[in-house]
Amino acid sequence: MSLNENSYTKELAKVDKKVSYIKTRLDRLLELLLDNSIEKSEYDEKRRDLLDELEEADHEQQELQSAVKNDSQLKKRLAEFKTVLEQNEVMNEFDPTVFENMIEKIIIGEVDEQGNKNPYKITFIFKTGYTSDTNAPPPKKAGRPSKKSNDVENGTGEIENNFTCSHEIGHTGVMFVMILCL
């Protein structure tokens, strides 16, 4: 989700005017009926149409108000997150909302142009398009590792990991567990 509070606010102002206009038309329609300028059947038909328009506009208004509020809260959390990063403070608590709104996906492992596998590379792709790469330290081996289904022998008797994973953000719990397991 991009931060579109300004466009949401503009759209909300348009919808507010629309709601006000429909309410004014309903008032005028009632005045016409009271002045006997229109028949009751015509009044009922036009009133139904206006009430349908009003209901639709009210629904749109509520959605936009919610979007403006959510964007405002998100901007506040991101500003706090930015402050923490700028001050190099340790975050004591994982914030899944900030994480999901900043990170597009995480790629674990890579295969370079020569076909060399690096299962320790971690690439974070941010929603802004920025990427951040890091290499996780290889696990300490206590003896010969057991062969897993995604491992292959490289011809020298050693076992290589044949695993590259790319996971789209969607379920924060899975992503959090994945990061913790690194």
- Answer whether 117's CB lies under 8 Å from 160's CB: yes
Helix and strand counts by DSSP (H, E) for the chain: 4, 6
- Rounded CA-CA distance 100/12 in Å is 26
Tokens of 124: 């974070």
- Rounded CA-CA distance 4/157 in Å is 56
Q: Which residues of the chain, if any, have pLDDT below 50? A: 1-3, 149-182
**Residue-level pLDDT at 178:** 43
Q: Biggest alpha carbon distance in the chain?
A: 98
Residue with token string 């959510």: 70
**Residue-level pLDDT at 89:** 59
**Residue-level pLDDT at 171:** 41
**Residue-level pLDDT at 163:** 42
> For residue 54, what are the contacts with CB-CB under 8 A and spacing of at least 6?
19, 22, 23, 26
Selection from 132, 135, 139 nearest residue 120 by Cα: 135
The pTM is what? 0.45
